[in-house]
Amino acid sequence: MTATLLAMLLQASAIAPPADVQSLPPLALHDRQAQGPQVAEFVRGEVRAGRCDLPPDRTTLDLAVLVSATGRVRRIVPQAIGCATVEQFAAGLVLRSTRDNLVAPATDAWFRATVTLAGP
């Protein structure tokens, strides 16, 4: 029982995201596509509906992305901004952008993806 619990704790800590997402290298993609206006529209809608209270200077959201050596996303952890719907929407966009588009690292590694929240 103790050995199993210890193994589970070690496994969980092995995939825990770094505390400082800003220090992570940027997510490496074969083809970096431009972000469409849907993010800014979604964020504005969430703020207007009263589901989010984002400060006007909040223009980006960083996400920690764990990529396996086989080039698959294992985990995405959005930076907490007090708006779960926007955090999850951004995570979905990042996941979609990685499909068949990731540069696989030599070993499992954390990377940073940044989603722009405010449009021009």
Q: Which DSSP string corresponds to 12-39?
A: HHHTPPPS-GGGSPBPPBSS-PPP-THH
Q: What does DSSP say about strands 73-78 and 60-67: parallel, antiparallel, or unpaired?
A: antiparallel
- Spans in the chain with pLDDT lower than 50: 7-10, 12-13
Task: Find residue 73's DSSP bridge partners.
Answer: 67
Tell me how far apart the alpha carbons of residues 112 and 17 are, in angstroms, rounded to a whole number: 10
Query: How many CA atoms lie less than 13 Å away from 97 in the CB half-sphere?
Result: 21
Tell me how far apart the alpha carbons of residues 118 and 120 are, in angstroms, rounded to a whole number: 7
- The tens digit of pLDDT for each residue in 39-66 reads 889 988 998 999 998 888 888 999 999 9
CB 61 within 8 A of CB 117: yes
How confident is the model at residue 24, as a pLDDT?
A: 96
How confident is the model at residue 39, as a pLDDT?
A: 84
Residue 82: both structure tokens together: 């007090």
How confident is the model at residue 73, as a pLDDT?
A: 96
Q: Which fold has domain 28-116?
A: TolA/TonB C-terminal domain (3.30.2420)
Query: What pTM was computed for the model?
Result: 0.81
